[in-house]
Amino acid sequence: MSNLSVNHLLGIKNLSKHDIELILSTSKNFKEVINRPIKKVPSLRDITVANLFFENSTRTRLSFELAQKRLSADIINFSASNSSVKKGETLVDTVNNILAMKVDLIVMRHANAGAAIFLSKKVKAKIINAGDGAHEHPTQALLDAFSMQEKLGDLKGKKVAIVGDILHSRVALSNIFCLQKLGAKVKVCGPLTLIPKYITSLGVEVESDLRKALEWCDVANMLRIQLERQDTKYFPSLREYSMMYGLNKELLDSIKKKIVIMHPGPINRGVEITSDVADCDQSIILEQVENGVAVRMAVMFLLAGRQGD
């Protein structure tokens, strides 16, 4: 079977293992394409994509836009801050007006969890979730899995520690679903105030000691403290957070094996990770960004090719 089982990419939770493996193997082909001298292919010629960003983004927005250009799609970009959303237009009205211009595919980032699922039920277009609140960030999890596979091969049995603000992180949830479907083991690590109580029901273990988590894992995915999503104090100060859960070079070098260091960005240097770790040879942070273009090309190529409602 060489087709996705879904018409939209709303999250990793509703993807099958086959869907994920198909996206990752297609990404491998597109990575080869974007490393050629001529990086453009006609795969999405005659497809029009609207990038709707209701929340700030650097990597995801630019990566989707570049992926669309590499696939020869026509694109329009929308950001809520300078749109008629400011005059009170609803999400559904906004999107239906954009679709009236004959748009085929919507890429949307929104601050509210569930926004992409809601939209997929209200409008006639294929929707790709580019991050919805603290819910899911599926293309980030796919590019993370792709980057891990490049370093470690098959992820079955590999151990991944996700460290930091799990409570407010859409990256954590999508990574947990994706890694488990690929057979990896996942632990989360952070202050218990930033670990949601339901997490163990997902089959994830909790470790509150960063050194123990690092000694256990093959990959440490260091997450940012999402201060913009916190309406209360979850730890005494950033300084104390970084003393307990920040990864510095001294700690990394004291771990007996060479673990892979990842971060979805944006990095708060000196808080969850020091500069000498972010930039060291164990870090694959910029490889994650490079792989994001290939993975997003694969997702849009596969969804656009799928016949559905």
Contact residues: ligand CP, CB under 6 A: 57-60, 131, 137, 140, 264-266
Q: Is there a contact between 133 and 111 (Cβ–Cβ < 8 Å)? A: yes
Closest CA to 223 of 180, 194, 256, 192: 194
Of 43 and 77, which CB lies nearer to ligand CP in the complex structure? Answer: 77
Q: Is there a contact between 22 and 2 (Cβ–Cβ < 8 Å)? A: yes
| Residue 294: CB minimum distance to ligand CP, A | 15
Of 60 and 274, which CB lies nearer to ligand CP in the complex structure? Answer: 60
Biggest CA–CA distance in the chain, Å, is: 58
Q: Is there a contact between 94 and 108 (Cβ–Cβ < 8 Å)? A: no
Of 8 and 137, which CB lies nearer to ligand CP in the complex structure? Answer: 137
| Residue 289: CB minimum distance to ligand CP, A | 8
Of 207 and 292, which CB lies nearer to ligand CP in the complex structure? Answer: 292
| Residue 152: CB minimum distance to ligand CP, A | 21
| Residue 106: CB minimum distance to ligand CP, A | 17
| Residue 266: CB minimum distance to ligand CP, A | 6
Q: Is there a contact between 207 and 187 (Cβ–Cβ < 8 Å)? A: yes
| Residue 141: CB minimum distance to ligand CP, A | 11
| Residue 175: CB minimum distance to ligand CP, A | 12
Separation of alpha carbons 196 and 21, rounded Å: 29
Separation of alpha carbons 173 and 245, rounded Å: 19
Of 109 and 185, which CB lies nearer to ligand CP in the complex structure? Answer: 109
Of 120 and 169, which CB lies nearer to ligand CP in the complex structure? Answer: 169
Of 63 and 120, which CB lies nearer to ligand CP in the complex structure? Answer: 63
Q: Is the peptide bond before 196 cis (omega within 30 degrees of 0)?
A: no
Q: Rounded to 10 degrees, what is the CA torsion of 81, 290, 265, 160?
A: 140
In the three-class reduction of DSSP (H, G, I as helix; E, B as strand; rest coil), residue 291 is classed as: helix
CB atoms within 10 A of CB 101: 9
Report residue 25: phi and psi, to 5°.
-70, -35
Q: Is there a contact between 7 and 309 (Cβ–Cβ < 8 Å)? A: yes
